[in-house]
Structure 1
Amino acid sequence: MNIHELMPKFPPSCYIKEQILLVNPNEFHRLEGIDIDSSRVFIVVSEGCIDINLNGKRCHIESCSCIDSLDTVTIRIEKCEKDARAWCMLVTYTFARNSLKNFKPVPIEKLLQTQDIPIHSFTKEAILRVDTQLSFLADAIAAKNHYYHNELAAVFYKSMCLELGNAIMSNETTIDDMQQGCRRSEAVALDFTKLVTKYFTRQHNIDFYAQALNMSAKHLTRIIKNTMGRTPHTVICDEITHEAMALLDDDRMTIGLISEKLGFSDQAAFCKFFKRQVSISPTEYRLKNKKSD
């Protein structure tokens, strides 16, 4: 089940439609026996233990641990101990993109390196900080009558991601460390994401990246789709969109200059691209952000 299919199984206080589902420790048991797929999933175990299945692999997850999986991983909660304190969070791409813009607390290559068993172990201090932010986020999601309900949820989501990203990046202890390295497909995905990060403002065409990796565009598309759950074109477009949103926050930059900086032939081409990605024009996006400040 994906995020949209899971939402009706929980009280409205646990979610914002089409945006985020945060299953708190009191509701976590409802996830037992459910396959979660086609979704980016965060599971944080603050106390106690849970048993899960990751793409057919059974894992016993102890306290002070986190699962941060891509949408290519299928997760099933097999068992949750009665004294366990665990959270599960799923977000839509649109909500995450609008909340984080071009900021990435955990680089995609870090996630790809631990894709098979995406489990991270934290210190008690780190897990407490993450747990605290999740509690703040849960309160924001539940505050349906708050005038700035969506904005508040976005702020606390970003805050939680910062704590989670800090915990992951500062602690290299993962179950996956015992593995000898990435499979060939994962290595290609890592190289591709590094190339996109370096060249996305100049190169929008898949053929450039395929040639740089010494393979056909068709073969690259198949590898990236199987590994990351998205096409190379989507990955490139997402990078451009994230950067565009960040640049639009700077009123000193004209839309024409932004389109040039992002490698578009003209302003019209950039505006057409941005509206296709975000559903509003760059000008509308800029005005909307000003009102919410």
Structure 2
Amino acid sequence: MTQAELISIFPPQNSIVERILLIGPDLFRRLEGLAVHECRIFLLLTRGTATLSVGNETIRIHAGHFMDLLVWEPITFMAMSDDIAGWCILPNYEFTNEALNDMKPANSESFKNRHSVPRLTLNENEAAVIEAQLSLFRKCLNDTDHFYRSELCQTYFRSFMLEIGNLMLRKGQAEEESDGVVTRQDMIIMGFLKLVWKYYKEEHNIDFYAGRLCVSAKHLSRVVKDKLGKTPYAVIRDELVQQACFLLKDTTMSIQDISAELHFSEMAAFCKFFKKHNSVSPTMFRASAKKAHQSLLTNINQI
């Protein structure tokens, strides 16, 4: 199921359509048996145990485990104990980007530098801090008549991410539980992702990443497809699209400047790329974002 499909089976007060879904302890069990894909998931288990299939791994988590499951990893909630309770947040990129305003909380790099599924183990007090943030978030989300519901939800999501980042800084790094030896494929994936997040603006060619990892482009493609379910180019492309959307909302940069920032050979190539993956031109995307912003300002001034 995608985020949109999940939203359709939960009460409307639990979501902002096409933006975010928050599932609290009272509805958490509804996830049992569901297979989720193309979703970024933040998961906090507060009671009981659960067994998940994440990509090619089967893992068991218990109360106090916090997880950040990245968008390309298919996830199945296989089984849950009778006393299960937890929180699950599924934001899309647009909501996350607007809420964080391109801020990268401390946990971002720690969760990226991994070869297996991350599990941050929280003590009772730490879990209580995060759950308090999520409770405030849910209260705001449930108030469907609030005029600034979406904007407030972004604020609470940002607060939640900052609390997680604070815990990550205090703990040093995410705790990982592994079944055994790190394989060569694990090392290739970890190295590839680290390189993409560092060089995606400058390097769009798979050969660059393969060369840095000392493997053939064909082998890299095979490993990435097997582990992540998408091609190396798709991983690079997604980073470019997301950054392009963010920069287009910054009206201080021209489309020509954005094209150069993302190292396209010419503006026409960037425009063609953006329209292919967003169904609208950069100009139309920017105009739509500007209109939405002006509408918000008008509503504020009328109060």
TM-score > 0.5, shorter chain as reference: yes
Paired residue type of 1:74? I
Which residue of structure 2 lines up, in the alignment, with residue 229 of structure 1? 229
- Give runs of aligned pairs for residues 43-62 of structure 1, distance below 5 A: 43-46=43-46, 48-55=47-54, 57=58, 59-62=60-63
Change (3 A) 1:57 1:203: closer
Question: 1:18 is paired with a residue of what secondary structure?
Answer: coil
Which residue of structure 1 lines up, in the alignment, with residue 165 of structure 2? 165
Question: 1:239 is paired with a residue of what secondary structure?
Answer: helix
- Give runs of aligned pairs for residues 189-268 of structure 1, distance below 5 A: 189-268=189-268
CA distance in 2, matches of 1:264, 1:24: 43
Change (3 A) 1:68 1:36: farther
Decide whether the 8 Å contact of 1:108 with 1:193 is kept in 2. no
Which residue of structure 2 lines up, in the alignment, with residue 24 of structure 1? 24
CA distance in 2, matches of 1:191, 1:43: 25
Question: 2:86 is paired with a residue of what secondary structure?
Answer: strand
Question: 1:87 is paired with a residue of what secondary structure?
Answer: strand
Give the structure-2-normalised TM-score.
Answer: 0.79
Question: 2:189 is paired with a residue of what secondary structure?
Answer: helix
Change (3 A) 1:53 1:197: closer
Question: What's the CA shift for 1:191?
Answer: 1.4
Unpaired runs of 5+ residues, structure 2, are: 298-303
Paired residue type of 1:185? Q
Change (3 A) 1:78 1:169: farther
Decide whether the 8 Å contact of 1:112 with 1:186 is kept in 2. no
Question: 1:276 is paired with a residue of what secondary structure?
Answer: helix
Question: What's the CA shift for 1:21?
Answer: 1.9
Question: What's the CA shift for 1:233?
Answer: 1.4
Change (3 A) 1:53 1:158: same
The answer to whether residue 112 in structure 2 is matched with residue 107 in structure 1 is: no
CA distance in 2, matches of 1:213, 1:156: 40
User: CA offsets per residue over residues 116-158 of structure 1, 9 Å max, x none?
Assistant: 4x32112444323321222232233323333333333333333
The alignment-based identity, stated in percent, is 33
CA distance in 2, matches of 1:102, 1:276: 23
Paired residue type of 2:133? Q
Question: What's the CA shift for 1:87?
Answer: 0.7
Which has the larger displacement, 107-116 or 156-165? 107-116
The answer to whether residue 77 in structure 2 is matched with residue 79 in structure 1 is: no
Change (3 A) 1:270 1:170: farther
Change (3 A) 1:184 1:119: same
Decide whether the 8 Å contact of 1:102 with 1:242 is kept in 2. no
The answer to whether residue 146 in structure 2 is matched with residue 146 in structure 1 is: yes
Question: 1:9 is paired with a residue of what secondary structure?
Answer: coil
CA distance in 2, matches of 1:280, 1:152: 28
CA RMSD of aligned residues (A): 3.1
Question: 1:13 is paired with a residue of what secondary structure?
Answer: helix
Paired residue type of 2:51? I
Unpaired runs of 5+ residues, structure 1, are: none
Change (3 A) 1:249 1:206: same
Decide whether the 8 Å contact of 1:52 with 1:60 is kept in 2. yes
Aligned residues: 287
Which has the larger displacement, 181-190 or 239-248? 239-248
Give the structure-1-normalised TM-score.
Answer: 0.81
Which residue of structure 1 lines up, in the alignment, with residue 134 of structure 2? 134
Paired residue type of 2:116? Q
